[in-house]
Each structure stands twice: as C-alpha cells, then as structure tokens.
Structure 1
C-alpha cells in the first residue's frame, strides 16, 4: 500500500470539531478498507495566497489539516465525494514516491520482507 498525504483547507466559518469529524469519517472509510493512518497534523489558521470564491463569498484565510496514511490506490476515488462539502475550500491527495517505508520493515538477516 502506498503512503499518501491528505491535505484539507476548510473555511474559517467552520469550527475545528466539524473539521475533526470530517477527518474521522475519512479515517473510518480508510479503516474499513484495511488502511492505516500514520499521522494527523493541524496547521491552524493560514492566510491564503489568493482568494477562493465559493457560494458563501470570498475566502482570504482558512484552516488547514493534514492526514498521512497508507491505503490501496482505489481509495482516492472515494474522496471525490468531498467536492460536494461546502465546509471545504480545497483538498488534495499527494502520493509519496520513492519513500523508504518498505525498507524499514524488511528482515535484517534474510533481506525478505515481513509479508
């Protein structure tokens, strides 16, 4: 399973609990497909480099959170439902390329993986 970073930029009008609930929902979907969450970070309030226009107006700042996880490549199709969520200004899924996580779980003597 590849390693991914899921970054969410939410509106400042949304409270932090609502954003946390969104990440919990994504985590539950991920867990149902045998994925593993490795890290969750909150970057708090950030000024945007440009305004983002949504139905409720223009946004010049937002709240950013990041979740790092391992999942099957088909999982990114499930995230497309986030496009309909009005709380989210932008979201992005980034796949880690060339990460060394696989080498860290190899057996030291035989050179074979644990799987």
Structure 2
C-alpha cells in the first residue's frame, strides 16, 4: 500500500493514499466509495462563466447589474471575463440580482 503520512509537530496527522487503494479499503469493509466532488471554487467558476448570458437574459447591462450588487462595472467586467473570482458576499448578491438560487448554495 502506498500511504503518505503527513506529520505535524512530530505526530501523524493525515494519511494520503491513491484513490484505487482507498476504494479497495472501503470495499473490504463493505462500503461504496463516494465519487470525488469538485472543489467549491471550480463549481463557482463554472457558474460564473454563465454570468454574461444570465445578465443579458435579465435585460441588464454591466453598469445596472454592478450598481444593484454594489460593485463597480469595471470589477463586474473582470468577474465576467474570469480574471477575478468574487467573494461570497458578491456571489450571493449576484445570485439574488439574477434570481439564481443554486449560486446561493455555492456561496
């Protein structure tokens, strides 16, 4: 078994092993492994790629949406282009403004 032990202050804190070996261990004790979940940042980035289309579908220009969220149009343009990832509060405000409830869960 290929196990990497991560130590903290001289004591083992974590054990890291290949996914296939993790699955084998779970199968040995009669449990099904859960599929790895994407990181929240990846989910958020994926949803934010839809931002321009969602904004346009609501009939909003960048300035109007930015004003309703409380950020500058320049910053919203950076978010839309993928150059910036907004913090939780801005994601929630965007979710409310665009009426996208699943973003509220991601935020």
| Same fold? TM cut 0.5 | no
TM-score (norm 1): 0.26
Determine which structure has greater relative contact order: mean sequence separation of CA pairs < 8 Å that are 6+ residues apart, divided by chain length: 1
Structure 1 or 2: larger helix share? 2
Larger Cα Rg: Structure 1 or Structure 2?
A: 2
Structure 1 or 2: larger strand share? 1
